[in-house]
Amino acid sequence: MGAKKASPDLLNSSFSFKSLKLKTKQQELLLRVSILGLVYVLAFIARLFSVLRYESMIHEFDPYFNYRTTLYLTEKGFYEFWNWFDSESWYPLGRIIGGTLYPGLMVTAALIYWTLRFLRFFVHIREVCVLTAPFFASNTTIVAYFFGKEIWDTGAGLVAAALIAICPGYISRSVAGSYDNEAVAIFALLLTFYLFVKAVKTGSLSWALGSAFGYFYMVSAWGGYVFIINLVPLYVLVLLITGRYSMRLYVAYNCMYILGMLLAMQIRFVGFQHVQSGEHMGAMGVFLLMQVFYFLDWVKYQLNDTKLFQTFLRITVTSAILVGGIALGVGTASGYISPWTGRFYSLLDPTYAKDHIPIIASVSEHQPTAWSSFMFDYHILLFLFPAGLYFCFKRLSDATIFIVMYGLTSLYFAGVMVRLILVATPAVCLISAIAVSATVKNLTSLLRTKQKVPQTGSTKGVGSSKSSSKVTLDQSQPFQKNGAIALLVGVFYLLSRYAIHCTWVTSEAYSSPSIVLAARGAHGNRIIFDDYREAYYWLRQNTPTDAKVMSWWDYGYQITAMGNRTVIVDNNTWNNTHIATVGRAMSSYEDEAYDIMRSLDVNYVLVVFGGVTGYSSDDINKFLWMVRIGGGVYPVIKEPDYLVNGEFRVDKGASPKMLNCLMYKLCYYRFGELVTEYGKPTGYDRARGVEIGNKDIKLEHLEEAYTTSNWIVRIYRVKPPTNRL
């Protein structure tokens, strides 16, 4: 934007442009394209911090599952992948992979991989997976440009592209290596919205068709598609209420809904939900309402008598509402329409999850958002957003209504769950971009009229800017100009702070793979803890191929992907009882746990322990959730047994049950002999800052198999039953 605005001066002075003899429009186009190109590259390279700092690897937990399935897809082909029954997870139940995942991400990565192979670029599939997210982030900036152009003008489009390229809210889920569904889903989400807005604006079937396919891609990629299928009908409803019904809207919505629904049914995981689940019923209701509107319009056209029409209107509306209500009631009562799911409820009634679904409430990214998290992820966009809202209302159109609704609903959801900040990011960037673009445009046009430079073609657009320049023409005060310059400087200062903030956040907070940990040593040097991979490769090379490994569900995907061994539970969390069984085993005494483990054919138990390194997200700190989830299914496990006066302790004052449960024993086995910090007694737990309470731990049914170099992962072998003879 900055470069674009300065274009006339720059062009006058620069020799090379002059010699090219471009027309103003061509110059503008050239500038726009080159800015977009730079933004495209910027979005990609800003996400490479993690590769530079560590290495090209897959991050965190879920991406390992995605990577594993992508590998399977590229090796065995699409049909094998689609029909894959995975017996290596959720032992002994197994998991039908093809029917329980969103295949969009894997298929996308595989397609990129096959294309590259076809073009004779022989890359490893892992590199493709690592770089999928940055690539799609770059594509998102292009979509953001067109979206911004659609709702405001090209300037806003460019600013939106630049803002979203480095917005931490988006970067948090799209750095190189975070190979997760959201990586492509945000692109699909924004594309669908853009195409739909375009379709409403033009009323053309082709744009609506495009948006239906965009929706299909979104459905194939991420469960967040439910947001689209609820926001779009809501938007249509608002347009209907505010009297903005038009034939364009009718064409756009009907085409998008019907085709999108039919396409979405092709995804097995989604299936017939569009016609059966309560979460999708709003869209269908609005669809029917559209038909009633159209019908009424037609009847009004046929009947010339107003009174007759009024009566007809009343009868139609009443009967339509009645029929709809009865259908919904019968459907719900007969069980044909399923009620809302827990996740959906917890969005509408935020306190629901806390009371009813511990497995959702236990995940840190499902926590409600504090203001500092918003500040961290949006920075100055938060200041610009209200200004953007104001500008949107100043120039109300179908498109701006959409972006305002998208922004507000998604911000509300972002307030309920931290992870949904991601969904709100494009809207926040777009609305803030409107604020920046409109402000800068107004101020520069004010400056330019002072200098009596003839208006160039780039200031078509904003009506308010025209009127403002007219007013200032009447009164020629130098102060106005100074004020405008001061304001401009202020805006650019803010934007530069934003750039600094984003770079810092990306580099420091969002680029750690969490599978390799980094810490600062005593002399400021970087220490790398690579214990996870050490442990998983140990499992891969030293255990029988059919060994079953029990761990808390967080590590399930990583064990199957990197260790190539069967796990009892993993991050899919589809079977609460199974997870509760593991939670129960971990929180029972060793002999009770042994029976549970025998019944599950467990050969190895893996725990994550941060007492030596001071790594705080280890199993001891997650232990209360194991107790809670276990106790939710098996009432034998009671949370108060593990607490002392409501406090969770591991030192001498801990409860006896805590000191002797399996998890405690496995984490602190032989820890009592170890000196972890100078000047502290043996068995000093650095993660919790206490000396442990039980230093003399004897294991009866398990034996230590492997402990990684920094003790972060500890693996135990379950002994076979003793010979009774």
Partner 1 sequence: MADHTTLPHRFFLSISLLSILAVSQPDLTKELVSLRSSSESGVIRLTDDTVSKFITSVSTPRPYSLIIFFNSIDLNSNPLQEFRREFAFVSASFIANNNNRSDVANKVFFCEIDESSDSEAFGLFGIQFLPQICLVDPLMENLQDKTGRMEEEDVDGTAESVVEFIESRTNLTVGPLHRPPLLSKTQISVIVALIAISTPFLIKKVLKGETVLHNSRVWLFCTVLVYFFSVSGTMHNIIKGMPMFVRDHEDSNKLVFFYKGENFQLGAEGLSVGLLYNVVGLLLAYVTNALVRVRSVSGQRVFMMLAMVVSLLAVKKVVYLNSWKTGYEIQTYWPSSWH
Query: Rule CB under 8 A: which residues touch partner 1?
Result: 241-243, 350-351, 354, 367-376, 380, 382-391, 393-394, 396, 404, 407-408, 411-412, 414-416, 435, 438-439, 442-443, 446, 464, 467-468, 471-472, 475, 477, 479-480, 483, 486-487, 490, 494, 500-501, 503-505, 507-508, 640, 645-646
Nearer to partner 1, 225 or 498 (CB): 498
Nearer to partner 1, 68 or 366 (CB): 366
- CB of 546 vs partner 1, minimal distance in Å: 42
> How far apart are the C-alpha atoms of 689 and 259, rounded to whole Å?
59
Nearer to partner 1, 484 or 713 (CB): 484
> How far apart are the C-alpha atoms of 175 and 198, rounded to whole Å?
30
Nearer to partner 1, 132 or 409 (CB): 409
- CB of 477 vs partner 1, minimal distance in Å: 6
Cα radius of gyration (the chain): 30
- CB of 433 vs partner 1, minimal distance in Å: 14
> How far apart are the C-alpha atoms of 429 and 84, rounded to whole Å?
40
- CB of 503 vs partner 1, minimal distance in Å: 6
Q: In the block, which residue shows the tokens 């202020």?
A: 490
- CA-wise closest residue to 391 among 156, 157, 141, 161: 156
Q: In the block, which residue shows the tokens 């399930």?
A: 556
Angle between helix 463-474 and 421-450 (nearest 10): 30
Cα torsion 691, 694, 697, 699: sign: negative
- CB of 646 vs partner 1, minimal distance in Å: 6
- CA-wise closest residue to 162 among 43, 291, 281: 43
Nearer to partner 1, 238 or 292 (CB): 238
- CB of 625 vs partner 1, minimal distance in Å: 16
> How far apart are the C-alpha atoms of 11 and 20, rounded to whole Å?
11
- CB of 501 vs partner 1, minimal distance in Å: 5
3-state DSSP call for residue 90?
A: coil
Nearer to partner 1, 217 or 642 (CB): 642
> How far apart are the C-alpha atoms of 165 and 46, rounded to whole Å?
8
- CA-wise closest residue to 183 among 121, 236, 105, 260: 105
- CB of 586 vs partner 1, minimal distance in Å: 23
Q: Which amino acid is at 166?
A: I
- CB of 628 vs partner 1, minimal distance in Å: 15
Nearer to partner 1, 402 or 536 (CB): 402
- CB of 144 vs partner 1, minimal distance in Å: 20
Q: Give Cβ neighbours of residue 662 (< 8 Å, ≥ 6 apart).
A: 585, 586, 587, 588, 589, 590, 593, 605
Nearer to partner 1, 20 or 509 (CB): 509
- CB of 386 vs partner 1, minimal distance in Å: 3
- CB of 649 vs partner 1, minimal distance in Å: 15
> How far apart are the C-alpha atoms of 436 and 580, rounded to whole Å?
51
Q: Give Cβ neighbours of residue 284 (< 8 Å, ≥ 6 apart).
A: 274, 275
Nearer to partner 1, 25 or 300 (CB): 300
Nearer to partner 1, 640 or 689 (CB): 640
Yes or no: say if 536 and 519 are a contact pair by the CB < 8 Å rule.
no
Nearer to partner 1, 451 or 545 (CB): 451
Nearer to partner 1, 236 or 569 (CB): 236
Q: Give Cβ neighbours of residue 677 (< 8 Å, ≥ 6 apart).
A: 684, 686
Alpha helices by DSSP H, 265-397 = 273-276, 281-302, 306-334, 342-348, 352-356, 358-361, 371-378, 381-394
Nearer to partner 1, 48 or 212 (CB): 48
**What is the Cβ-side half-sphere exposure of residue 631, based on CA atoms within 13 angstroms?**
14
3-state DSSP call for residue 267?
A: coil
Q: Could you give the dihedral angle defined by the CA atoms of residues 468, 472, 473 and 477, in that order, rounded to the nearest 10 degrees? A: -170
- CB of 185 vs partner 1, minimal distance in Å: 22
Q: What Å distances lie between residue 418 and 3, 118, 359, 500, CA to CA?
A: 35, 41, 16, 23
Nearer to partner 1, 457 or 483 (CB): 483
Nearer to partner 1, 162 or 436 (CB): 436
3-state DSSP call for residue 548?
A: strand
- CB of 439 vs partner 1, minimal distance in Å: 5
Yes or no: say if 642 and 657 are a contact pair by the CB < 8 Å rule.
yes
Q: In the block, which residue shows the tokens 């009004």?
A: 300
Q: What Å distances lie between residue 393 and 129, 254, 404, 704, CA to CA?
A: 42, 27, 9, 66
- CB of 483 vs partner 1, minimal distance in Å: 5
